[in-house]
Structure 1
């Protein structure tokens, strides 16, 4: 078996010598590698450029339906998990080589040059400006975006629940009401209800006022804002 393998390899080498010299073959391979490195470098540079709003012209027949998303769907995801949908130029973490490979494969398949890259990620993954687990997209027109690549670890399933109270003003208010109800139920009212009419209601109102005021003051003084307000903002304190 080993003899047969060595014989086939010798035959193949013999045919290669008749086709081209070893030096010519190595020069051609080196040229291919150099071209590949150049294209990958160009893609890396485009990821570091300000995103264009111009839609990319893609071949409809080559698109995967489960990777096409409307801006409203992206917005809903960002609000629920407190994420941001921003230009790749301000993404401060390293974009993996696999993502660059997928961009190159798409460009070759669709015979185009992709641009307008955007990324979904938590705020801390971006170089946010002072007002005074990521998904890489490209725009394809009419507020639709095509998902190219996802990397990193899976999103923590608890994140959606943890950021729910600051999703919007309504969620913030409901959370304060629920906490106030819990406090009103915990406070013993055996003696209090005899001396103070509607004692549990008063405790609830006092708790709600305190919780809402304290958390709202802390939240806004820290330069924070609700999820539905920040999902496309490049500023960390506005």
Structure 2
């Protein structure tokens, strides 16, 4: 009666043909050392990137069109959601195993060694070990970047609104104007009662404008913060 074939045993036999007096434990150790060496190489490149180049060569027949983004698109998203786009050498959080695997797979598929890695993340991830939606890119040249991997938690849906006022100077002025108008109409009766007129309202409005602008700039100078439009590629936490 014919016996069934154990594929695992067949694999072991085939492997042992190339390894006489085979030491399984030694072989396993060598495998793990090889994996560790390759992973270490990727992590070292991420920690020091860019090392040798800022442009990578990809096989046009194997790229994912949905992973290609231009610097203008990256800039807009970073400014809208107050994110940074920096070299990975400034990234302080840990990389999940999927990142290393994705890089190794891309390098094998495209027959290249990637360098010049960039990452999109909130500024706190360039200081603290937290995970909040980082995106890892490799430059392709001519302002284009290839998305390698995204991990961590998604951003809060209100993040864009939260940082809208400090997106740029124009937004700040609109926010100050809106807040001043609201503050004026909410408090005009408190200050003037039924005796308020246009002159009183105008003075109160200017008071709110001056006070709100003063608070914004006091906080900005004291904390060293800058508008999102000017700090999305800055490696500094405070205005330099």
Q: TM-score range by the shorter chain?
A: 0.7 to 0.9
Rounded to whole Å, the distance in 2 between the matches of 1:11 and 1:222 is: 62
Per-residue CA distance 1:140-192 (angstroms, 9 max, x = gap): 00011000000100111111110111101111111010011111211226523
Per-residue deviation at 1:19?
6.1
Query: Could you tell me the TM-score, scaled by structure 2's length?
Result: 0.85
Rounded to whole Å, the distance in 1 between the matches of 2:217 and 2:45 is: 41
Rounded to whole Å, the distance in 2 between the matches of 1:215 and 1:66 is: 39
Q: Secondary structure at the match of 1:48?
A: helix
State the match for 1:110 in structure 2: 110
Per-residue deviation at 1:127?
3.8
Rounded to whole Å, the distance in 2 between the matches of 1:18 and 1:136 is: 37
The root-mean-square deviation of aligned C-alpha atoms, in Å, is: 2.7
Per-residue deviation at 1:9?
2.8
State the match for 2:205 in structure 1: 204
2:13 maps to 1:16: yes
State the match for 1:173 in structure 2: 173
Per-residue deviation at 1:31?
4.2
CA pair 59-164 structure 1, distance change in 2 beyond 3 A: same
Deviation larger for 6-15 or 73-82? 6-15
Structure 2: state its 5+ residue gaps. Answer: none
Rounded to whole Å, the distance in 1 between the matches of 2:124 and 2:60 is: 35
State the match for 1:88 in structure 2: 88
Q: Secondary structure at the match of 2:48?
A: coil
State the match for 1:40 in structure 2: 39
Per-residue CA distance 1:9-36 (angstroms, 9 max, x = gap): 3994598279626853846665444333
Query: Could you tell me the TM-score, scaled by structure 1's length?
Result: 0.86
CA pair 159-234 structure 1, distance change in 2 beyond 3 A: same
Per-residue deviation at 1:204?
1.4
Structure 1: state its 5+ residue gaps. Answer: none
Rounded to whole Å, the distance in 2 between the matches of 1:221 and 1:57 is: 45
CA pair 10-161 structure 1, distance change in 2 beyond 3 A: closer
Aligned residues between the structures: 229
Rounded to whole Å, the distance in 1 between the matches of 2:15 and 2:97 is: 37
